Amino acid sequence: MKKRFSFYSVLVLLGGCASVSNNEVNQKLDSPSDKEIVLVKVLEDSRCPEGVQCVWAGEVTVEVAAYENKKLVEQTQFTFNLKNEKEIKTWFDLHSPKKQQELKGVSVLPYPKEGIQIQPQDYKIVLDY
């Protein structure tokens, strides 16, 4: 059975951030786990929209932050594409709260659709277990 956990995007303002507790969006770090991951922002999304034929599939670049015991441990940027899929999975595996199951994949949603602009607050990172 595949389980999905989402980390929603919220712009970081004045040191505030968003995190996930029981798959809900919070404006502060208050998860029952000692480890949390925050999607800080989407820097670029050049993925080919659904319903459009493109020469290049495109990619999405995000900034993420890892917290442990409510303290920032690492903040980094990732460009999601086939070349660095393993690196991204390894980072999320390291910084995610320990799970009983193996992390199978990491993706950024929603996927672009022709003629529809994605709002920054609608982005989320989905971990597939």
Round to whole Å and give the CA distance between 61 and 42.
Answer: 6
Q: How distant is the alpha carbon of residue 20 from its chain centre? A: 11
Q: Residue 15 pLDDT more than 60?
A: no
Task: Note the pLDDT of residue 100.
Answer: 65
Mean pLDDT of the chain: 77
* 104-123 mean pLDDT: 92
Phi and psi torsions of 121, nearest 5°: -70, -10
For 8, 27, 35, 91, 92, the CA distances from 30, given in Å and listed in that order, are 15, 9, 10, 22, 19
| Residue for token pair 């208050």 | 30
Question: pLDDT tens for residues 23-43?
Answer: 223 233 445 678 888 899 999
| Residue whose token pair is 């690492």 | 74
pLDDT at 48: 93
pLDDT at 102: 83
Q: How far is residue 61's CA from residue 39's CA, in Å, rounded to a whole number?
A: 11
Q: What torsion do the CA atoms of 109, 19, 70, 39 make, to the nearest 10 degrees?
A: 30
- Once rounded to an integer, what is the mean pLDDT over residues 112-125? 92
The model's pLDDT over 67-91, given as tens digits with 9 standing for 90+, comes to 998 899 999 999 999 899 999 999 9
